[in-house]
Amino acid sequence: MIFSEAACQWLSQATNISHLDLDIEQMDGANSSLIFLVRSAIDSYSEKFVLRVLHDQKWLEEEPDLATHEANALREAAKAGLRAPKIIGFTEGDIGFGGPVVLMSYLESKVDILPADFGKWNRSLARELVSIHRHKAEGFGWNFSSWVNRELLTPPVWTKIPDVWEKAIGIWLNEVPHSPSVFIHRDYHPTNVLCEDGEVISTVDWINACLGPAEVDISHCRTNLVQMFSIEAADDFLAHYVELSGFKYNYYWDIDSIFDMNLPEPEFYTPWLEFGLEVIPIEVLRKRIDAYLAHVMKHF
């Protein structure tokens, strides 16, 4: 992708790399924005940076402050002492990148969704989330709202257990249970964390961070683990989180996450393939989600 001269000059000023020496390479793992590695083409020891380009016009129409949101989320993460990228700069308008941008520090670690020791990795996934939720972030300017689309709120045509879905919908439509607000990542899952030696050491992609129930992050990660691996992986993750935090979990939020991610249809998340997970057939995803919803509903 070719950026304008004005865009390269902005990058040069922000990174202290001559615009003639900028090396910009698109990275894997992005879904709703474009992510680039920015470094010097002549000095391999110079600092590296990550550039997010917000090119999705529909998303920007819904949330025009996305760049400001992520910049402030990264500042909040730094205030909390969390292991996250540092904000370097951002633009609210398009100055030649194809959309607003957020420039942040690069973390020397990698996404690892197929660790050699899955149990150790899963526990570290929970431990990292506990550390995020310790921060109260009082006064942070963004608050949680559910991503469930009410227009899709009906048992899906593919389910083998429509009566269970009906019951779950009834529970979701009742009053939302109270839970204290903490700093939540809002999109916490295995491709948004970085690892070393098979353990999670940092979290990236803070553009959706907000104040909200801790369960929102827990349930979102659990649903991802079910889709990717199994119900057992999701339950082990929750057990680790509860053990490390003493938290009392409300399974209402699993219903919210299941509806959000699987109506009208579960989908294979493309970045999973980029990081080594083989394509999971839609029939398998459907079966896993039906089984997971039935499993969750045993708590009601």
Question: pLDDT, tens digit, for every residue of 223-244?
Answer: 999 999 999 999 999 999 999 9
What's the confidence (pLDDT) of residue 45?
78
CB 191 within 8 A of CB 221: no
Could you give the percent of the chain with pLDDT greater than 70? 99
Q: Is the pLDDT of residue 32 over 70?
A: yes
Mean pLDDT across 180-200:
97
CB 112 within 8 A of CB 198: yes
192-214 pLDDT per residue, tens: 999 999 999 999 999 999 999 99
Q: With bands split at pLDDT 50, 70 and 90, how would you rate the model's confidence at 28?
A: confident
Mean pLDDT across 121-138:
97
Cα distances (Å, whole numbers) of residue 107 to 40, 196, 272, 292 = 16, 11, 20, 34
- List the beta bridge partners of residue 26: 36
Domains of the chain: 5-105 (3.30.200.20), 118-297 (3.90.1200.10)
- What is the C-alpha to C-alpha distance for residues 29 and 20, in angstroms, rounded to an integer? 27
Q: Is the pLDDT of residue 186 over 80?
A: yes
The closest alpha carbon to 126, from 255, 258, 236, belongs to: 236
Between residues 199 and 31, the one the model is more confident about: 199
Q: Is the pLDDT of residue 30 over 80?
A: no
The closest alpha carbon to 32, from 165, 220, 207, 251, belongs to: 207
- List the beta bridge partners of residue 202: 194
What's the confidence (pLDDT) of residue 1?
64
How much is the pTM? 0.96
260-291 pLDDT per residue, tens: 999 999 999 999 999 999 999 999 999 999 99
Mean pLDDT across 111-140:
97
Q: Please state which of the ranges 39-48, 124-133, 229-238 shows the lowest mean pLDDT.
A: 39-48
- What is the C-alpha to C-alpha distance for residues 238 and 181, in angstroms, rounded to an integer? 19
Q: Is the pLDDT of residue 135 over 90?
A: yes
Cis geometry, peptide bond prior to residue 264 (ω within 30 degrees of 0): yes
The closest alpha carbon to 209, from 44, 37, 82, belongs to: 82
Q: Report the Cα–Cα distance between both ends of the chain, in Å, rounded.
A: 51
What is the residue-averaged pLDDT of the chain?
96
